[in-house]
């Protein structure tokens, strides 16, 4: 009996020892003088062909590998990149002067022919090439004309106010390399002119980029940038705390304190281009009367929403254009919080006893989306609108909105890659557009006029007119722009951007 028990105990002790030894072995392996920064994202990139994806996690990797003709700086202003200058020739023609002597990482030269090839691909003018996922952005392009080796003109069918913004989003891919197999290899083995090259990519694990020492803008200061997918929020934060990762995006407001409490970590904030809006379906009878829609705006206590639901992580927006947007109205006008007035307006509109409504929202897609809707429902209840929150998984939400089938109210935080409010209202307000449940002729007219001019002055004047009419006759309950929150290890000197790009070129390691 005695012997048997001893054996069992001995085995257990041995097992524990084995486990401990293994874990000690792990601690000793990190000794590398190369600087390395690890970024954790919720999901991993899908494809590294810049024209064959439409998501941020892929874009964050892609922007390190490729360059565009022009780029947005940290203030979202457009600056030269592969093109040293550009000029608006007329309402449908822009001319770019290219830099000399730039090469792709496989040695192919960058010149006007490359630019032509790239824009023809996305505009659907390249014979034999598959339609790209960003094709809709470039469908206004009629022709790309090579003037000489260093000069190229993009000619559009009609004035396209967002052309420069789209050009800034078009990363240049090499010609010979992609011609061989019709862009197939590009998706997993990218070749660009950018500051980094892909070293390795283990699906589900690390994607490693290494710095290009001879990058034409100067060698990057960080030798290796690693992207890792970590789906769980709490795991991402834990990894940040132990130094396993250096940058995490989409930190939740509830976790700010937890991260700030760590000596070696800091929390970074940046105003986001994502504007939360309470869509109102004016195709439903109850919502037709402008007084009902104004009543809803007077019922919303936006400062309280920002303070209590968003925990300060949002900025109030008078309509749908925050300050960084083209079309922003300097005379910001806000609906006052006035439940009495809201009740009166409802009564005048024929609803003295209030009404029933449903708020559709995706669950967990936007910062505190469901909580915000519940708070909004509470505010509406005070003026007699009995609102029910219908929170659904994003796939269901997307399907329902695309089928144009939404209840009285819908909560969505709209992204805007162009920092131009035209992009938002042409899809969410212009009557007949995919996500518009609203019709106002004056608004339509101004949106259309804004789309016909490439002159920035005129363009924004029409947008302001549209926004003012949208304020008077609201298609939305006006809310706030979100604030993006990042958790960063203090050893990395890096600044987040309003466009959600995580760009490490220019970042460095603090000594």
Partner 1 sequence: MSGYLTRRVVHSIIIVIGISMVVFLISRLTGDPVSLMVDFDTPMEDREVLRKELGLDKPLPLQYLIFLKGAIKGDFGTSIRYQEAAINLVLQRIPATLRLIVFTLFWALFFAIPIGIISAIKRNSFFDVLGMTFTFLGQSIPSFWLGIMMIMIIGVHFRLLPISGYGGGDVAHIIMPAVTLGAFEMASFARITRSSMLEVLSMDYVQTARAKGLTEIIVIVKHTLRNALIPIITIMGLHVALLMGGAVITEQIFAYPGVGWLAVQSIYNRDFPVIQAIVMVVSIGVVLTNFIIDIIYTIIDPRIRYDREK
Q: What does the binding site for partner 1 look like in residue numbers (CB under 8 A)?
A: 1, 3-5, 8, 11-12, 15, 19, 22-23, 25-26, 43, 46-47, 52, 54-55, 130-131, 133, 135-136, 187-188, 202-206, 228-232, 234-235, 238-239, 241-242, 244, 394-396, 398-399, 401-402, 412, 415, 427, 434-435
Of 245, 269, 287, the closest CA to residue 407 belongs to: 287
Closest CB 202 distance from partner 1, rounded Å: 7
Closest CB 330 distance from partner 1, rounded Å: 27
Mark 187-213 as b/e (b = at least 16 C-beta within 10 Å). eeebbbbbbbbbeebeeeeebbbbbbe
Closest CB 296 distance from partner 1, rounded Å: 23
Please identify, using beta-carbon distances, which residue of 136 and 219 lies nearer to partner 1.
Answer: 136
Closest CB 456 distance from partner 1, rounded Å: 23
CA dist 502 and 60 (Å) reads 6
Of 140, 66, 79, 152, the closest CA to residue 114 belongs to: 152
Please identify, using beta-carbon distances, which residue of 297 and 498 lies nearer to partner 1.
Answer: 498
Q: At what angle do helices 441-451 and 421-428 cross, to 10 degrees?
A: 130
CA dist 224 and 210 (Å) reads 5
Please identify, using beta-carbon distances, which residue of 115 and 450 lies nearer to partner 1.
Answer: 450
Closest CB 132 distance from partner 1, rounded Å: 9
Please identify, using beta-carbon distances, which residue of 227 and 335 lies nearer to partner 1.
Answer: 227
Closest CB 230 distance from partner 1, rounded Å: 4
Which residue in this structure is represented by tokens 């219908």? 390
Please identify, using beta-carbon distances, which residue of 129 and 290 lies nearer to partner 1.
Answer: 129
Q: At what angle do helices 369-382 and 290-299 cross, to 10 degrees?
A: 110
DSSP notation for 259-289: HHTSTTEEEEEEEEEEEEEEEE-TTSGGGTS
Q: Assign 30 to helix, strand or coil.
A: coil
Closest CB 227 distance from partner 1, rounded Å: 12
Please identify, using beta-carbon distances, which residue of 241 and 468 lies nearer to partner 1.
Answer: 241
End-to-end Cα spacing for the chain = 62
Please identify, using beta-carbon distances, which residue of 85 and 200 lies nearer to partner 1.
Answer: 200
Closest CB 414 distance from partner 1, rounded Å: 8
Please identify, using beta-carbon distances, which residue of 93 and 431 lies nearer to partner 1.
Answer: 431
Query: What residues contact residue 449 under an 8 Å CB cut-off, 6+ apart?
Result: 462
* Element containing residue 141 per DSSP (H, E): strand 141-148
């Amino acid at each position: 009996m005695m012997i048997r028990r001893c054996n069992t105990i001995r085995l257990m002790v041995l097992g524990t020892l084995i486990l401990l030894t293994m874990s000690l072995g792990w601690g000793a392996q990190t000794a590398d003088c190369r600087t390395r920064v690890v970024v954790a994202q919720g999901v991993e990139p899908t494809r590294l062909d810049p024209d064959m994806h439409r998501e941020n996690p892929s874009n964050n990797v892609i922007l390190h590998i490729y360059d565009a003709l022009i780029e947005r700086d940290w203030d979202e202003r457009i600056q030269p990149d592969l093109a040293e200058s550009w000029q608006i020739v007329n309402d449908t023609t822009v001319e770019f002067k290219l830099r000399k002597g730039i090469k792709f990482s496989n040695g192919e030269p960058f010149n006007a022919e490359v630019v032509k090839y790239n824009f023809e691909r996305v505009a659907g003018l390249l014979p034999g090439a598959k339609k790209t996922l960003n094709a809709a952005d470039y469908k206004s392009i009629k022709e790309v004309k090579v003037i000489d080796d260093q000069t190229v003109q993009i000619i559009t069918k009609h004035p396209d106010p967002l052309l420069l913004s789209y050009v800034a989003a078009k990363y240049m891919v090499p010609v010979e390399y992609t011609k061989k197999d019709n862009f197939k290899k590009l998706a997993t083995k990218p070749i660009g002119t950018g500051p980094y090259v892909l070293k390795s990519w283990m699906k589900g694990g690390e994607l490693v980029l290494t710095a290009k020492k001879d990058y034409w803008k100067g060698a990057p200061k960080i030798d290796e940038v690693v992207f890792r997918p970590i789906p769980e929020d709490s795991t991402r934060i834990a990894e940040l705390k132990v130094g396993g990762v250096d940058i995490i995006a989409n930190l939740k407001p509830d976790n700010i304190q937890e991260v700030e409490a760590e000596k070696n970590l800091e929390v970074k904030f940046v105003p986001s281009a994502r504007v939360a809006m309470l869509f109102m379906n004016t195709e439903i009878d109850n919502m037709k009367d402008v007084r009902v829609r104004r009543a809803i705006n007077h019922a919303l206590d936006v400062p309280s929403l920002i303070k209590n639901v968003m925990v300060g992580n949002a900025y109030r927006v008078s309509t749908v254009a925050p300050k960084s947007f083209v079309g922003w109205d300097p005379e910001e006008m806000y609906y006052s919080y006035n439940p009495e007035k809201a009740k009166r307006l409802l009564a005048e509109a024929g609803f003295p006893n209030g009404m029933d409504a449903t708020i559709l929202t995706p669950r967990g897609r936007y910062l505190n989306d469901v909580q915000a809707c519940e708070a909004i429902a509470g505010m509406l209840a005070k003026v007699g609108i009995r609102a029910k929150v219908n929170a659904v998984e994003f796939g269901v939400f997307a399907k329902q909105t695309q089928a144009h089938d939404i209840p009285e109210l819908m909560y969505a935080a709209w992204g805007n890659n162009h920092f131009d409010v035209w992009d938002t209202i042409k899809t969410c307000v212009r009557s007949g557009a995919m996500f518009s449940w609203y019709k106002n002729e004056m608004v339509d007219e101004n949106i259309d006029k804004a789309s016909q001019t490439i002159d920035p002055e005129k363009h924004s004047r029409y947008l302001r007119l549209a926004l003012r009419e949208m304020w008077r006759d609201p298609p939305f309950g006006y809310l706030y722009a979100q604030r993006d929150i990042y958790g960063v290890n203090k050893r990395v000197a890096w600044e987040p951007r309003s466009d959600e790009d995580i760009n490490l070129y220019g970042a460095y390691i603090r000594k």
